[in-house]
Chains A and B, each alone.
Chain A
Amino acid sequence: MSTGQDARLYDLGYRSYDGPRERPARAIPALAEFTARRVLGLGRGGRHKVLPAVTLVIAYLPALFSVAYAVFARNILPGDLVSYGDYMFFIGSALALFAALVAPEALCPDRRTGLLGLYLAGPLDRTRYLVAKGAGVLGAMLLITLGPLLFMLLAFVLAGLGPSVSATPKLLLRIFAVGLVTALLYASLSLAVSSFTSRRAVAAVGVVLVLFVPALVVRPAIESAGAPNALDLFSSPFVVANLAYRIFGETQENHQPVTHLSTGLVVAGVAAAIALGALVCWLRYRRLEAFR
């Protein structure tokens, strides 16, 4: 081992970076992942995790009870467990509360802390920014729309009422479809509402207004006052439930209020709502004064 002359002093000064750089499009998934982590309070102080955690627990409770019930109770009838279709309707308030937490957290602070100006001063423009934020919020929403359904599947299987092995992939596909559509609908509408203000508080109440309140008015309107059935499309949890019934092929009669709209109209209604939410966001952010 030679000694002496190989002693060297390394320059700790600045090293320029000549490694590979990502393509501009790569900024979108990076921002999406950052947004998803941030809205769920990951990587931040404990108290930021309280609110998302509380809501998730509320949404998962029915599924967890079903699993427990399935394990301990004897000869369970299919009617005893909440059906896949009904589940979304059943946790309507939790879905609204979660969206009221996630979407405002994704958009509003960036405007108040000037971070939006910093993003746009980098290789991002407003459309890419919104695409990334949308993906982030969608990811977070899937946590509350997909998870519980998978637990319900577990409950049905444990109760011996689960699908045969060959039928499982098809059922999983349907679960993913419902989870995705619900997440898309709630993410799009709540982001649209959140794009109107830079205060999380105002956006949160707005989201609850759009996602939860109509449901309480539409049913009585149709049933007692004979309002047109199309009004159902304005009640998010209701529309999602009815879409789920059709996707899961659950028969109509033993379920909660069912719309008399054709499948085509329901699908069109949901698609229109998602598109409308995205459009509103884009229009609002097109001329937003982001550069202070």
Chain B
Amino acid sequence: MSAVGTTPSVAARPATLVSLAALYRLMLRTQVSLSRLLGIGALSGLAILIGGLAAFDSDPAQAAADAVSGFGLGILVPLATVWFGTSAIGDLVEDKLLVYVWLRPVARWQLPAAAVLATLTLVVPLTAIPLTVSALIAGSGDVALATLLAASFAALAYSGLFVAAGVWFRRAVWWGLAFVLIWENVVANEAKGAARFTVAGWASSILGLAPGIDVDLEPGSAAVAFIVLTAIAVAGWLVATWRYRSMDID
């Protein structure tokens, strides 16, 4: 333990990648728990089940697309993202552990970024990939690729949204659930115009990329969808960073 003779160089800090990687690994470690894996395992099982079903339909490709845009993007992806996204930072706040990450010579944007990345790392393999597999089972390579893109970008947007919610609200999960079950599903299906305001809506327009697939709620072209979904994620990340920088820490 060196004596504190020399004036400490206050500028010393970890390389960005090193600290980001450490925070990312921490987020993964704290998020993975038995009950969550059980739940998400069931979800991805259901996703693959859909694929199996679509195969029996007269027009499998369209059936797969419908199933993915309805169940996959509307329920499966958002539900998984709510689970991991809101608690990535939310748990640290609730357990009063944020101090061990905040009081470090590390730029503030890094924790929210690590949270979004960790959420994506958990959600994409557990939902987007099984959905893609189910589309493959339904026998259409094009739909499979479109599904992978749509689900991944939906997960990206939802991650930004729910990480920010986790930093901001105390019972973020519950509002997230209400948002998913009610806004993304009931409202989006009933009011066609509302699709433009839902992540599932924009994500399903990416599905439209697959030839011969018409997607009933198509708010805009797929290209625009990519931009919008990424923008939502970035906005979520910025809001989370701003909140994280300005809040008092226990």
Contacts and interface: CB of A to CB of B under 8 A. Distances in A.
Contacts of B79: 205, 208-209, 213
Interface stretch (B1-9, B54-62, B142-150): B54-62
Nearest to B57: A224
Interface string B22-37: 0000000000011110
B158 interface: no
Contact of B50 (A93, A197, A217, A226): A217
A149 interface: no
A225 B55 CA distance: 8
B39 A216 contact: no
A177 interface: no
Contacts of B173: 200-201, 204-205
A40 interface: no
Contacts of A217: 46, 49-50, 53, 71
A58 interface: yes
Interface string A108-139: 00000000000000000000000000000000
B139 interface: no
Given A97-B177, A224-B56, A224-B57, A58 B182 contact: yes
B46 A196 contact: no
B205 interface: no
Nearest to A224: B57
B126 interface: no
Chain B contact surface mostly: helix
Q: Summarize A's interface: helix, strand, loop or mixed.
A: helix
Interface in B41-95: 42-43, 46, 49-50, 52-57, 63, 67, 70-71, 75-76, 79, 82-83, 86-87, 90-91
Contacts, number: 94
Interface string B169-200: 00111100110011001100000000000000
Contact of B177 (A196, A208, A216): A208
Contacts of A101: 174
A197 B35 contact: yes
Interface residues of B, number: 40
B38 A196 contact: yes
A214 B46 contact: yes
Given A96-B181, A201-B87, A202-B33, A220 B171 contact: no
A209 B87 contact: no
A225 B53 contact: yes
A204 B185 CA distance: 18
A169 B171 CA distance: 43
Nearest to A223: B53
Interface in A199-245: 199-206, 208-209, 212-214, 216-217, 220-221, 224-227
A100 interface: yes
A54 interface: yes
A225 B53 CA distance: 5
A100 B177 contact: yes
B82 A205 contact: yes
Contacts of A54: 178
Which of under 10, 10 to 19, 20 to 34, or 35 or more describes the interface residues of A?
A: 20 to 34
B53 A221 contact: yes
B178 A213 contact: no
A202 B83 contact: yes
Interface string B117-158: 000000000000000000000000000000000000000000
A205 B83 contact: yes
B87 A202 contact: yes
B77 to A, nearest CB: 12
A60 to B, nearest CB: 15
18 contacts: A96-B181, A201-B83, A202-B35, A204-B177, A205-B79, A208-B79, A208-B177, A212-B75, A213-B46, A213-B76, A216-B70, A216-B71, A217-B46, A220-B63, A220-B67, A221-B53, A224-B56, A225-B56
Interface of B: 33-36, 38-39, 42-43, 46, 49-50, 52-57, 63, 67, 70-71, 75-76, 79, 82-83, 86-87, 90-91, 171-174, 177-178, 181-182, 185-186
Given A199-B87, A199-B91, A201-B86, 20 more contacts: A54-B178, A93-B182, A93-B185, A96-B181, A97-B178, A100-B174, A101-B174, A200-B173, A201-B173, A202-B36, A204-B177, A205-B79, A209-B39, A213-B43, A213-B76, A224-B57, A224-B63, A225-B53, A225-B54, A225-B57
